[in-house]
Structure formats: structure tokens, C-alpha cells
Amino acid sequence: MTQQLTQENYYGDTNFLTNSRYKRYQQCQAKAFAVDNGSWVEDRDETALLLGNYVHSYFESPEAHDQFLAEHGEKLLAKTGKNKGNLKADFVIGDKMIESLKNDDGFANLYHGFPDDNVQKEMIVFGEIEGVPVKGKLDSVNLTRGYFVDLKTMKSIYNKEWSEELRKKVRVAANNIIGFGYHGQLALYRELLRQMTGQEFRPWILAVSKENVPDKEILGIDDEFLEEGLSKLKSDIVEVWAVIQGNQKPKACGYCDYCRSQKKIGPVVYLSELIGE
């Protein structure tokens, strides 16, 4: 019997699989397993994660934002240059994003609900997918009106960029959703909510851009994409869990920083092979 999930033990618990952990194993099982067992430490830029949490915590509650600033405030400040001691440029943009949303009635009604609505912030959901215990945290759930909202920060919404998955140029918001697997994430959360409540919920993404003048939209995901995302997760999750549990050897992608650190020179690789990939 696993322990009951609470706000205090949620992040330390490893008895349940999270979407973010699942996605790490999708990228490279060998690296994710090495990170989990402490034999590899990721060297990554925290800026995007900190910015997202900076904006999220503000709309969760004043207490949550104060706690975030107490824990991470030093990382938000410039250490050198003429801006020393003030917010770094990335987080000045964060303040602009917050201002853009907090003065928007449409956002307030959706994210915080109406006065008589039962809205829960950072609600923990959990259940099983293909027998694997899974958990998640939802930004805002309107239990009265049957929907939940995921607040996503994006570099743009309507600019275009190349999508490897779709093999064409698409709007940045679409590339974010497909490229980062947000359709699978929201489909997973919808399924866990259904298991917990017996009700169907509609997921919405509240996208806000990191542009100097932030853009914002409520984005819906068509059912076909939600079904595709959940189907993909179901097809892979049992293998991922078997690797995490030590019942199956992790596969190496061969190209990430961890795999490069383990690499030994092997057979010659010909140009035709590189082109053929």
C-alpha cells in the first residue's frame, strides 16, 4: 500500500510515476535511470523552469508566491553588470506576463472561477494507467463546471517555426503542444480526474507568451489529439515502469550528453548512413 499523497510529500514520492518523469524516460532511458540513481547530474539551464514557476506561483496564491521568492529569489537577480541586484531580463518579462493576465477578466473567470465555483489550485490527482501508478498536479480545477486549466508559458503563440513531428512550419503554440507532449499530459490528467471523480473534465491550456508585449490565448485540444496522446502513453508506460523498477535494462539513445559520456569509438560511420537517418 503506497502512502497517501499530500502537498508536503508529493515531490519526494517515487511510488507514483509523473508525466515529467515519464517524458525523461522517453527521451533516453539510460540517462533518466542514471539521473534517478544519482550516477548522473543534469547540467541544464533552469531559467525556463524558474520563469514558469514564478508566473504559476503568483496565480496560485500570495502565500505560494512568497514561498517561491523565499526559496529561489536569489536566482532571479542579476549578479553582475548595470542591472546587478535587480531582476534579470527573463523575470522582468515574467512580471509583464503576470500584469497581462491579472488585469484580464476572461483569465480571472476561467482560472479562478466565479464566486460560487469550487475551484482547487495545485490539486493532486492519481490513479493507474495500464496498471502503473501515476500522479499529477493540476494548476486549476473547476469542479463545479467540469474543466481544468494548465497555465503554459511559451516564447510565442502565433509566430511560426519548424515542427519535427509534423514536418512543416506551424504556430509556436502548436509546436509546443505536440513537441512537448502536452496533449498526452492533459489527456492523462483528464483520465486521472475521471478515475477519481467519475466525471468527464474538459482540459484548457492558458497560453501566455514571453514576448516583450505578452500574447495570451485559451487553447483547446481536439479530442483526436487527446486520444492520440493518451494512446501513446499507454503503449509505452509499462516498459518505462519496468525500467524504473529495475526489471528491464534501460535503453540508450546514443546521442544525449549522458550517452556521449559513456561512448567508445566503434565502427566507421559513413556519410550515406548520416544522410539516411
What beta strand segments (E) does the chain contain?
A: 119-129, 132-142, 147-154, 160-163, 168-171, 202-209, 216-220
CA dihedral of residues 50, 51, 53, 54 (deg, nearest 10)? 110
11 pLDDT exceeds 50? yes
> Residues 12-35, buried b or exposed e (16+ Cβ, 10 A)?
ebeebbbbebbbbbbebbbbbbbb
pLDDT for 74 equals 86
Percent of the chain topping pLDDT 70: 99
Q: What is the pLDDT of residues 105-128, one digit of tens each?
A: 999 999 999 999 999 999 999 999
Average the pLDDT over 54-58 and give the result: 93
Least confidently predicted of 5-9, 206-210, 263-267: 5-9
Rounded Cα distance, 248 and 242, in Å: 6
Task: Indicate the pLDDT class of residue 40, thresholds 50, 70 and 90.
Answer: very high
Q: What is the pLDDT of residues 137-177, one digit of tens each?
A: 999 999 999 999 999 999 999 999 999 888 899 999 999 99
Q: Which domains does the chain have, with CATH numbers?
A: 19-33+104-276 (3.90.320.10), 45-102 (no CATH)
Note whether 71 and 53 are within 8 A (CB).
Answer: no
Average the pLDDT over 250-254 and give the result: 96
Q: Give the residue among 203, 98, 221 at the shortest CA–CA distance from 141.
A: 203
Which pTM does this prediction carry? 0.91
Average the pLDDT over 214-221 and give the result: 97
The rounded mean pLDDT for the chain is: 93
CA 269 vs. chain centroid, Å, equals 36
199 pLDDT exceeds 90? yes
The angle formed by the CA atoms of residues 116, 122 and 124, to the nearest 5 degrees, is 105
Q: What are phi and psi of 253, to 5 degrees?
A: -75, -30
Average the pLDDT over 43-60 and give the result: 89
pLDDT for 53 equals 92
Burial class (CB in 10 A: 0-12, 13-18, 19+), 246: exposed
Note whether 186 and 221 are within 8 A (CB).
Answer: yes
Average the pLDDT over 8-36 and give the result: 94
39 pLDDT exceeds 80? yes
How, if at all, do strands 147-154 and 160-163 pair? unpaired
Rounded Cα distance, 7 and 214, in Å: 31
Rounded Cα distance, 245 and 117, in Å: 41
Note whether 22 and 249 are within 8 A (CB).
Answer: no
Rounded Cα distance, 185 and 92, in Å: 29
Quick check: helix, strand or coil at residue 204?
strand
pLDDT for 1 equals 42
Neighbours of 259 (CB within 10 A): 15
pLDDT for 2 equals 55
